[in-house]
Structure 1
Amino acid sequence: MRNITILGVVTLFLVTGGVSADWLPNQTPENQMISITTVIDVVGFVSDSTMFSWTLASPGSIPTGMLGAGQSVADVSYHDSTMTNGGHLMMNKRVDFNSGDQSSGMYNLETQKVLTYASVDGSHLVGEEEYTLSVAGNGEDTDGNIRCVFSRGDESQMPSFCNIVTAKSSLINVNSAQISSKGGLRSVADTKDVPAALNYQIAVTPDTNSGSGYAEGIVKTVFAGSIMEARDTTGDNWNKTSATNTWKDISTVSGGIKNFQKSFGYVSGLRV
C-alpha cells in the first residue's frame, strides 16, 4: 500500500492596467437568496446530489451568442454528488446563494461540506464536486459573431475579454476517510473595481475511528483555466487579442493517504 502525503496551493491573480481583464455584470432589480443544509448519518445506501446553474448579463438581456456594446455576461455552474453502496456515512453540507451585487471578499455562491465514511462488507463511496466560472465582456458593438471569439478583421467588434476557470475534485472507491471541502465564487458586482473570483479547498485525512492511520481510496483534483484579453475598448487594439494563457493543475493519489490537501484561488479584475 502506498502511503501518501500531499499539499498543494494554486493561486492566480489577473489584475492589470494594460489588459482589460474582467468587469462583472451587476444585479437585477429582483434578487434571490437560497440556502440548503444537508445532515446525513446513515449505515446503508446514500445518494445525494446538488446542481446549480446561473447566467446573468448587463446591460440588457442575456445575448444569444452575441454581446452588445459595453456588455458583460457571467455563466456559473456548480455540481456536487455523493453516493455509497453501503457502509457508514456521516455528512454535513451547506450551499448558500445570493444573486445580489457583491464586494471584494464576498461571494455569490458558497459551499461547505464535511463527511466521514467507513466501509462495511466491502462497500465504498464515490463523489464529485465542480465549480465553473465563465465571464466575457465586450467594449463595442458585435456584428454577427459568436461570444468569446476575438475578431481579426477591421469591421467586426468582439469581446474585450473571455475567461473561464474550473475547480473539480473526484472521489473513487473510498473505503475510509474524513473529507472536507469549501468553495466560493463571485460573478456579480455593481462597480468595475470588484473582480471575478473563484476559491476552492479540499482536504482528505484518515478516519480516526478506523485505527489504520490512513484514508483509503482514490482522490483526484483538476484546476484549469483559459484566459483571453484585449487591451483597449477604443483605438486600434480593441478587437485584437493582446494576451492569452491556458493552464491546468492535476493531482491524483491512490492507496493509503496520510494527508491530501489542495487549495485553489483565482481573481481577475481591472486595476483602479
Structure 2
Amino acid sequence: MKKYISISIILATFIILIGIITADRLPSQVPENQIFTVDTLIDSTGPIYDESSLDWTLDDQNRAVHYAYVADGYNVNNLYSPSQTIASAINDLNSADYKWVKDNNGNLRLTYLNVDDYLYTKHIPGTSTSWGELLETLDEDYNDYIVDQKIDTGSIHNTKLNSTEEIMILTWTDFLRSNGGKISLNKNIDFDSQDKGKSLSNLKSEKILTYASTEGAHLIGSEEWVFDVAGNWERTGDSIRCVFTDTSGSIIPAFCNVVKAKSELVNMNSGQISSRGAVRGVAETGDVPGAMSYRIAVSPDSNSNSGFAEGAVKTLFGGSIMEAHGRNNIPSATNNWRDVASVTGGIKTFQKTFGDPAYTSGITGTGDPDDYDRLSRTSITPTPTPNPQTGTIIIVAQCWWELTGPSNYDGGQGTQTINDAPIGEYTFMSLGNYDYATDTLTAGGTITFTREAC
C-alpha cells in the first residue's frame, strides 16, 4: 500500500523594519524607462521547458560637490604636491574622488579632487586648512587646475557608495522543466521601471500550473527573488515629501539590506501550484519604502484520485539587514534571519507567504520636525486618527484571494474576518480561478465572500 503524508502548512512572515529616518531609501528613475508584459498560456502533453529572468541595477544620487581637475597639456612638475598629512586625508576619501600621478622625482602630484559640499568649510583632519581653502589654493596658485562645482547624479560603479547615493539590485529567475506529462500553465510578468508609490510594484510575476505525470515523467522547477538595496547617508532635504516637515538638518543614515525568497519543486508527479511575487525598488522620494512579497501554494490536482499532490516542495526566505546612525559608516543595527521549509510525499496543503502583504523597509515619521531631529534614537508612535464609518468583511476561501475597494486586502486558505473595514463597494477575486464577486459594505454591516473551490 502506498503511504501518503498529509501536510498542512500555513505560514505568514510579516516583517516591517521602520524607524524615524532609518532604513531603505530607494533610487529614483532614470529619464528613459521601460514597460513590458509577458503572458504565457500552455496546455500540452509531453516535455516542457519554460524559463524567465530579470537582472536590474539602478544607481542614483544627488551629490553636491566642488572639484578640481587638470587641464590638457599640464606639466606634472608644476602640480600641487601635498604634505603627508593632507595626502593621508585625501586617501581617506572615496577612491573615486581623487587621482595621483608621480613627478620625475617620484613625488605625488594631485590631478583630480572631489569634495562634498558639506565638507567645504570643514578642516582637513590634522590641519588648520579647510577643504574649501585647499580648492581655492589650487584655483588661485596653480595655473594647470580648473576648479568648479556640480550636482553628481550618480552612475553604476564598484567602489564605496558616495554620500546621498543609493543602489538597487534586483535578480529574479523562474523556470519549469519536465520530461513528459500533462501540464496546464498560465503565467504573467509585468515590469515597469518608473517611480512607484506605496502599494505599487516595479516587477510582478504570477503563475498557476497543474501537472499530472504520464509514463513516469516528473516536473522540476524553481523561482528566486533577491532584492538588494544599499545607500550612504543623505540629508533629509527634499527626500521627504511632506511640505510641513522642516528636516533640513536631519540625516538619513547609511544602510545595506538584502532579502531573498526562493521556492523549489522536485520530482513532482501531480499537483496544482500557484505563486505570486512582487518588488518595489524605485521611488521618487525617500518616504516610499522598498517592498517585496512572495507566496506559493501547492494543492492536489482536482483530477487526481489520490487526493494529494505528489512530490517535494522547498522554500527559503532570508534577509541580511545593516543600519547606521547619522553619518556613521559603522552598523548600529544588524539583523540576519532565515526561514526554511521542506515537504516530501503526499501533500494535502502547502502554503508559504513572505510578507503580509509585503516585506517593507523604509522611512517613517509623523511630520513633526522634532521626530527627525532624534535621528532614529526614539520610536515615535503617531497619534491615531478617528476611524471612518466601518463594517466587517468575512472571507471563506480555499485558495489565495485579493479584495479591492476603499481599502485593499489579500490572504490565503481558510476563514478570515476583517474588522473595521471602511464602508463602500468591494470586489473579491479568487487567485485560483480568477473568479470574482462584488458587494457593498455599509456602516456597522457585514458582508461575506465564499469560494469553496479554486
Normalised by the length of structure 1, the TM-score is 0.90
Q: Note the 1:202-213 alignment, pairs <5 A.
A: 202-213=296-307
Aligned partner of residue 265 in structure 2, secondary structure: strand
Unaligned runs of at least 5 residues, structure 2: 62-153, 235-252, 366-454
Deviates more, 1:2-11 or 1:83-92: 2-11
The SS at the match of 1:3 is coil
Pairwise CA distance, 1:239? 2.1
1:6 to 6, 9, 34: 9
* Cα distance in 2 between the residues matched to 1:220 and 1:127: 11
Q: Which residue of 2 aligns with 1:240?
A: 330
Pairing partner for 1:97 from 183, 191, 199: 191
Runs of 4+ in 1 over 3 A off after TM superposition: none
- Report the counterpart of residue 231 of structure 2 in structure 1: 137
Bigger CA drift: 76-85 or 1-10? 1-10
Q: What residue in structure 2 maps to residue 256 of structure 1?
A: 346
Q: Deviations over 1:55-75 (max 9, x none)?
A: 001021112232122000000
- Secondary structure, aligned partner of 2:47: strand
Alignment-mate amino acid for residue 181 of structure 1 = S
Bigger fraction of residues in strand: 1
Q: 2:266 aligns with which of 165, 172, 182?
A: 172
Correspondence for 2:362 among 266, 269, 272: 269
Of 116, 122, 128, the match for 2:222:
128
Look up the equivalent residue of 2:302 and give its one-letter code.
T
What do residues 180-229 of structure 1 show as CA deviations (whole Å, max 9, x unaligned)?
Answer: 00011010000100000000010000001012110000000000000000
In 2, the alpha carbon distance for the partners of 1:21 and 1:138 equals: 11
CA distance in 2, matches of 1:2, 1:209: 19
Higher relative contact order (CA 8 A, sep 6+): 1
CA distance in 1, matches of 2:226, 2:182: 31
Partners of 1:69 and 1:197 lie apart in 2 by 23
The whole-number CA distance in structure 1 between the counterparts of 2:335 and 2:162 is: 25
Shift of 1:270: 0.9
Structure 1 residues 28-57: Cα deviation after superposition (integer angstroms, max 9, x where no partner) = 000000111111111000000001000001
1:3 and 1:139 map into 2 onto residues whose CA distance is: 51
d(CA) in 1 for partners of 2:10 and 2:289? 27
The structure with the largest alpha-carbon Rg is: 2
Residues of 1 paired with 2:159 and 2:170: CA distance? Answer: 16
Q: Secondary structure at the match of 1:222?
A: strand
TM (norm. structure 2) is 0.54
Name the residue aligned to 2:295: 201
Q: Aligned-pair distance for 1:240?
A: 2.1
Residue 86 of structure 1 aligns to a residue whose secondary structure is: coil
Offset at residue 6 of structure 1 (A): 1.1
Number of the residue aligned with 1:116:
210
Q: Which amino acid aligns with 1:39?
A: L
Amino acid at match of 1:190: E
